[in-house]
């Protein structure tokens, strides 16, 4: 009988002419082998087939969560939506709690992570830096407002999630505060300006404010002036429009 540690290997298995899956051996948990994939964008369950992927299950959970709330994130309804068997779920998650943990991590990466990246992005002036931050919250930006709103709703039901949300708020505020300090604002002023920026945006999200692009672009220069004390230049606004594919007439 074999004894000792079983080495971990990945076995390539080709199921189609376009897709190669890597099966990890030994399996990471008692349910099944773990699938490895690095590029899952634009791959439907029909073209991928078999048991789907971790990313597909997580995307379905995320959409159910933001559309219908926490109770909608359940294994069988997700399986039905994806046209997959319930048992295929366990190839990627041990149980529903593991899926919910992954949903929290996804939110932290997509929302908190993208905001931090924006505050650290290159900018020659504080007004350009603030435009970087504002761009995160546009419809084409990486910050998902619906997901943030849903997380705050979940936080009202779960103290541990409430702690995660409160921590995320502090991390985001610290990142915006650091932006102002980088441009030589005194710490106390940087703190108040950071709160003005962040709490305004959270207010937009909580109240589910909807603005058309023309209205938003009309207000952005004045928002930047309110936040920073300086109005963005026309070249800065032109670069902002170009980055976000906003037409000049907007």
pLDDT in tens, 61-99: 999 999 999 999 999 999 999 999 999 999 999 999 999
Label residue 52 by pLDDT band (50, 70, 90).
confident
pLDDT in tens, 97-110: 999 999 999 999 99
How much is the average pLDDT of 176-198? 98
- Range 40-45, long-range pairs (CB < 8 A, 24+ positions): 45/82, 45/83, 45/84
Q: Are 91 and 51 in contact (CB under 8 A)?
A: yes
pTM: 0.78
Element spanning 76, H or E = helix 75-82
Which pLDDT value is given to residue 242? 94
Tell me phi and psi for residue 184, to 5 degrees. 70, 25
- As given in the structure block, the two tokens for residue 57 are 């299950």
- Range 220-227, long-range pairs (CB < 8 A, 24+ positions): 220/131, 220/134, 223/134, 224/127, 224/130, 224/131, 224/134, 226/196, 227/130, 227/193, 227/196, 227/197
Q: Are 132 and 125 in contact (CB under 8 A)?
A: no
Which pLDDT value is given to residue 50? 60
Is the confidence at residue 56, as pLDDT, over 80? yes
CA separation for the pair 174, 193 (Å, rounded):
11
């Amino acid at each position: 009988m074999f004894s000792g540690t079983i080495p971990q290997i990945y076995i390539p298995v080709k199921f189609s002419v376009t897709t190669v899956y890597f099966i990890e051996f030994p399996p990471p948990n008692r349910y099944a082998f773990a699938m490895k994939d690095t590029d899952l964008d634009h791959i439907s369950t029909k073209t991928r087939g078999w048991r789907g992927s971790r990313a597909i299950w997580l995307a379905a959970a995320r959409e159910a969560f933001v559309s219908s709330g926490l109770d909608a994130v359940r294994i069988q309804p997700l399986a039905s939506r994806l046209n997959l068997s319930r048992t295929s779920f366990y190839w990627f998650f041990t149980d529903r709690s593991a899926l919910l943990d992954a949903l929290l991590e996804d939110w932290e990466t997509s929302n908190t992570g993208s905001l931090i990246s924006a505050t650290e992005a290159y900018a020659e002036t504080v007004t350009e830096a603030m435009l970087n931050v504002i761009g995160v919250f546009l419809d084409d930006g990486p910050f998902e407002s619906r997901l943030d709103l849903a997380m705050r709703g979940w936080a009202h039901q779960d103290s541990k999630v409430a702690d995660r949300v409160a921590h995320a708020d502090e991390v985001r505020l610290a990142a915006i505060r650091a932006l102002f300090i980088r441009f030589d604002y005194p710490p106390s002023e940087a703190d108040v300006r950071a709160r003005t920026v962040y709490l305004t945006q959270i207010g937009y999200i909580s109240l589910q404010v909807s603005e058309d692009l023309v209205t938003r672009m009309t207000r952005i220069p004045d928002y930047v002036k309110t936040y920073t004390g300086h109005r963005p230049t026309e070249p800065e606004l032109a670069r902002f429009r170009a980055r976000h594919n906003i037409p000049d007439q907007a």
